[in-house]
Structure 1
Amino acid sequence: MQNELDSRFILGVFEKIRQHGEAQDNGYFLDGVKAYTDMDGYTVFLEDAKVSLRFGFHNQYHYDYQHADHLEQFEKKLHAIDKQY
């Protein structure tokens, strides 16, 4: 990815999902987005049915998706969660 992710934004959305979401299967669900961490807590995962984001140590990240519009919809969900909560 060429664009840099805002670590404060990603970690803020993660925390909002954790605080306001429903705890299920080692993660939290809110508005169609699942948030969880790896065992040591250094890597954060945010995902919906079509996109997953792995955000880790030193702001390294990786998106996994098949179509650009899926990524766009995923990012809209994250921004909506950020604004609503």
Structure 2
Amino acid sequence: MKNELDPTKILHAYETIIEHGTPTEHGKIYEGVEAFSDYDGYSIYLRGNGVELKVGFHNTYHLEYDQEHLKETFLKKVAMLAK
């Protein structure tokens, strides 16, 4: 996968969700996107609408999704949250 995501924007979206979201079992949810981190804080996760994005050490990331249109919708929402 080519590097199509900006880690800085992902982190901004994560911070927005944590700041404005409501608590869930794993983290917080805002505008339909849930944000949480692993126990040591090295990896953060954003998920919603059948898509999960994991951002790890050195800004590596992995996107899991079943359908391309779900991925595109999710990434648009993440971009909106990053503003």
Class of the TM-score when normalised by the shorter of the 2 chains: over 0.9
Q: Per-residue CA shift, 1:27-62, capped at 9, x if unaligned?
A: 100000000000000000000031000001011110
Amino acid at match of 1:64: E
Higher relative contact order (CA 8 A, sep 6+): 2
Structure 1: stretches of 5+ with no match in the other structure: none
Q: Is residue 2:49 matched to residue 1:49?
A: yes
Identity %: 41
Q: What stretches of structure 1 move > 3 A for 4+ residues in a row?
A: none
Whole-Å Cα distance in 2 between the matches of residues 58 and 81 of structure 1? Answer: 22
TM-score, reference length from structure 2: 0.93
Q: AA paired with 1:50?
A: G
Whole-angstrom distance in 1 between the partners of 2:15 and 2:64: 21
* 1:4-15 equivalence runs, <5 A: 4-15=4-15
Unpaired runs of 5+ residues, structure 2, are: none
* Corresponding residue of 2:64: 64
One-letter code of the match for 2:36? Answer: Y
Amino acid at match of 2:31: D
